[in-house]
Amino acid sequence: MTHPDQSSKKQTSQQKNSIGIFADIQNVSSIKGKGHLLLKFAQSKGHIVCKNLYYNSHDINQVCTKNELEILSMKGVDVPDYSENSADYRLMADCVKAVAFNPSLKTIILLSGDWDYAGLICILKSLGKKVIIFAQRGSESPKLIKLVGNDNFHFVDELPQLVANSNKTQPQNTDIVSQINYKEAIEYLIEAIKTASSQGKPTVFGCIDKLMRQGCANYQGYLSISTDDSKKFKSFSQFIDVAVKDGKVRKQNQELFLTELDILAA
């Protein structure tokens, strides 16, 4: 049993190390496929309180990246405006607002190597915040690197090594991660599709994953699903592909649908 003082100290420690993630997808398209690594890196620094990603819904590539990251419970912010720096301005405004209303937010992880964010970085540093930059190779600003320092500037493709190094230096987490088996996951998947359909919501991966989390406390994303051979799914998409192959659900244009058998059962 956790002593009240220990619980209080743990919560205080998390508040002292609160992390905010703000990603400009247009500037760091290479984050696709590495979102889980970004979250692991952030978690090694403290407790994540916000994780926003900014995209243009008129750009199919940005939408695909957004859909993938939303599966990891990141929040997509649509800026459907092709005018110069429109996404930048929205990100900056949201970041300043987040810091203003959450004093415990001590570290900002910014995904963009664009010099346009220099003003935001200066504001954050003047408020005593730590800023960590992740940029895409070839688009980084040397001035931006100098502004945050080499230790706080990384390229997106360095995430695998950064996470590996972090795992070596961080104490092992002894908390028990909740698990559900594949059969249970399929049941919650089908229920989530039924719920989304009845509510008129799109049955896209992000929405279904969110409804599965709401319907099952032990489901904490694809990593919490245990297969019969004790292997793990590498992504939510892989879990869906297996479910489709097993004839449990149907997939069309990134949306999920019930099989004929499930429709009759409903």
pLDDT in tens, the chain (266 residues): 445 444 444 444 444 579 999 999 988 999 998 999 999 999 998 999 999 999 999 999 999 999 989 888 899 999 987 776 788 899 999 999 999 998 889 999 999 988 889 999 999 999 999 999 999 988 888 888 899 998 999 999 999 999 888 776 655 444 444 678 889 899 999 999 999 898 888 899 888 988 888 888 778 888 888 877 767 888 888 899 999 999 999 998 879 999 865 544 44
* Residues 146 and 28 reside in one and the same domain: yes
* Residues 32 and 158 reside in one and the same domain: yes
**What pLDDT is attached to residue 262?**
53
* Residues 206 and 144 reside in one and the same domain: no
* Residues 163 and 221 reside in one and the same domain: no
* Residues 107 and 207 reside in one and the same domain: no
Residue at 171: amino acid letter: P
User: How many structural domains does the chain have?
Assistant: 2
Please report which helix (H) or strand (E) contains residue 152, including its range.
none
HSE-CB for 116 with a 13 A CA cutoff: 15
Is the entire prediction scored with pTM above 0.75? no
* Residues 41 and 157 reside in one and the same domain: yes
Give the domain-ending residue among 169, 196, 219.
Answer: 169
* Residues 139 and 253 reside in one and the same domain: no
Give the domain-ending residue among 169, 197, 215.
Answer: 169
* Residues 82 and 189 reside in one and the same domain: no
**What pLDDT is attached to residue 261?**
54
* Residues 139 and 188 reside in one and the same domain: no
**What pLDDT is attached to residue 9?**
47
Residue at 15: amino acid letter: Q
Residues 134 and 155: beta-carbon distance below 8 Å: yes
Flag whether 4 is in a domain. no
**What pLDDT is attached to residue 169?**
63
Please give the residue range of the domain that contains residue 85: 15-169
Neighbours of 185 (CB within 10 A): 25
The CATH number linked to 222 is 1.10.10
